[in-house]
């Protein structure tokens, strides 16, 4: 489920970037901010997926190693 959320965030980010490019083909500071915030949302989602994976798998790895 977490990896699906990362893929969904990436798809939304791509769609938003294409939309911003369509609306504002010239370089604009606010368009850059929009793209940066969308990319940051993907990054936060990816970090959250990593934390979820660690919470699930680290106890199993430590139990197996002990």
* Euclidean distance between CA atoms 11 and 4, whole angstroms: 11
pLDDT reported for residue 37 = 98
The residues spanned by each domain of the chain are 2-65
pLDDT in tens, 2-33: 999 999 999 999 999 999 999 999 999 999 99
Burial class, 9, CB count within 10 angstroms (exposed 0-12 / middle 13-18 / buried 19+): buried
- In which band, very low, low, confident or very high, does the pLDDT at 65 lie, cut at 50, 70 and 90? confident
pTM given for the model: 0.86
Torsion on CA atoms 45, 43, 29, 23, rounded to nearest 10: -50
Torsion on CA atoms 11, 12, 17, 22, rounded to nearest 10: 100
């Amino acid at each position: 489920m977490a990896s699906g959320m990362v893929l969904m965030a990436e798809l939304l980010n791509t769609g938003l970037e294409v939309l911003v490019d369509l609306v504002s083909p010239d370089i604009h500071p606010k368009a850059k901010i929009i793209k940066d915030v969308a990319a940051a949302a993907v990054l936060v989602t990816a970090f959250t997926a990593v934390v979820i994976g660690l919470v699930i798998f680290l106890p199993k790895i430590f139990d197996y190693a002990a």
